[in-house]
Amino acid sequence: MVPFDDRDGFIWMDGALRPWREANVHILTHAMHYASAVFEGARCYNGTVFKLSEHSQRLLDSAALLGFPLPWSRDEIDAAVNETVAANGLSNAYVRPIAWRGSEQMGVSAQLTKPHLAVAVWEWGAYFGEEALRKGLRLAIAKWRRPAPYTAPTKAKAAGLYMICTMSKHEAEAAGYNDALMFDWRGQVAEATGANIFFLKDGALHTPTPDCFLDGITRRTVIGLARKRGIEVIERAIWPEELESFEQAFLTGSAAEVTPLAEIGPWRFEVGQAVLGLGKDYSDLVNGRA
Ligand code: PMP
C-alpha cells in the first residue's frame, strides 16, 4: 500500500490547498498527545458528497463537544470539501475532514491552542472488500465496551474514542475475523468498531438505541429506506442473549455502506433478501439513481 504521507494530490489545510506531502503538523501538536481531535468520514459518489452538510455539521458539533469550537461555518467546511475533491480530480472518493488543537500549548490544559482544520480525499473501494458484500462479514466479540455517556463524550466523533476500536479490531483480525462487535458499558449490543449494526427478525429490523455511540448518518438513512419499503424498524436495547434469534444482520456506515454479516461469534446469519435489498436501495440513493 502506498503510505498515506507519500502521495500525489492536494490536501486542504487551514484555508488553502497544499501539496499532499506538505500537509504536516509538528510533533508537539496537542491533538497527538491528548487526542484533542475530531473527524468525519464521508463518501463522494459521481462527484457529489453524500449528505455533506450533515457531516460538516457533525464535525462542528464534535469539536464544540470537546470544547474547541471551530471558526469555520458549515458552508465553509462544505466548500473546503468540494474544493479538495475537485483539486484531486476525483469523482468517487472517501472524504476525511479532521479538526484538531494545535501546538501553542503543551500539557493537559489546552486553553491557548488554536483550532485547525484539514480535508483529505482518496480513492477507497468497499471498506471490507467486494467479497464481504456477497458473503457477509465475520465479527468477533470485542473485550472492550463502548463507554458510558458519563465516561466520555460519546456523541462526538472524537479520535480518542477510537483507541479501543483499533485494539478490538486488531484482536479480531488476529483471530481470523473481519471486525468486532462491541457491547456497551451495560453489556448491551452497541456497534462494530466503525459502523452501526442492524438485525432482521420476523420481517422487522431491530437496531440498538444510539444512547452511547454515534447515531450514524448512514444508520438514519437506512432506517428511512427500510420504512419506505414498508419494513418496521424498532430502535431498542438489544442484549447478547437475543443474537441467536436474529435471521439476518448488517452494518451501516459512510465507509462500510451496507455490509451484510454472516457470523458474530458463535451465531450465524443468512445474507438474505432484506439485507441485499437495503444495500441496493442505499447504493441507488447515494449514486443518484433513486
Ligand atoms: N460508529 C462508529 C464508531 C463509526 O466510526 C461510524 C462511522 N463514522 C459509524 C458508527 C457510522 O456513522 P456514519 O453512518 O455517520 O458514517
What's the confidence (pLDDT) of residue 278? 98
DSSP string of 233-271, one letter each residue: EEEE---GGGGGG-SEEEEEETTTEEEEEEEETTEE---
Q: What are the residues whose beta carbons fall under 8 Å from the beta carbon of 4, sequence distance 6 or more?
A: 122
Q: Where in the chain is the domain with CATH 3.20.10.10?
A: 130-286
Q: Is 135 a catalytic residue?
A: no
What's the CA gap between 8 and 22, in Å, rounded? 10
Q: Which of 254, 258, 259, 285 to mutate to test the pocket of ligand 1 (most atoms within 8 A of CB)?
A: 254
**Cell 504521507 maps to which residue?**
5
pLDDT of residue 187: 98
Tell me if 251 CB under 6 Å of ligand 1: no
HSE on the CB side for 183, CA within 13 Å?
A: 16
Count of CB atoms situated within 10 Å of the CB of 2: 8
Beta bridge partners of 55: none
Question: Closest Cα to residue 195, out of 254, 124, 129?
Answer: 254
CATH classification code of 10-122: 3.30.470.10
Could you tell me the three cell numbers for 31?
A: 491533538
pLDDT value of position 290: 79
Q: What angle do CA 124, 127, 129 make, to 5 degrees?
A: 100
Task: Determine the Cα angle at 154 with ends 152 and 155, to 5°.
Answer: 140
For ligand 1, pick from 182, 196, 225 the residue to mutate: most ligand atoms within 8 Å of CB: 196
Distance in angstroms (rounded) separating the CA atoms of residues 155 and 10? 30
Residue-level pLDDT at 126: 86
Angle at 77 between CA 72 and CA 79, to 5 degrees: 125
Residue 70 is predicted with a pLDDT of 98
Q: Please list the rounded mean pLDDT of every run of 10 residues in the chain (290 residues).
A: 96 98 98 98 97 98 98 98 98 98 98 98 92 94 98 98 98 98 98 98 98 98 98 98 98 97 98 97 95
The predicted model scores a pTM of 0.97
Q: Which CATH architecture is the domain 130-286 placed in? A: Alpha-Beta Barrel (3.20)
Comma-separated ranges of CATH 3.30.470.10 domains in the chain: 10-122
- State whether the beta carbon of 221 lies less than 6 angstroms from ligand 1: no
Beta-bridge partners for 16: 13
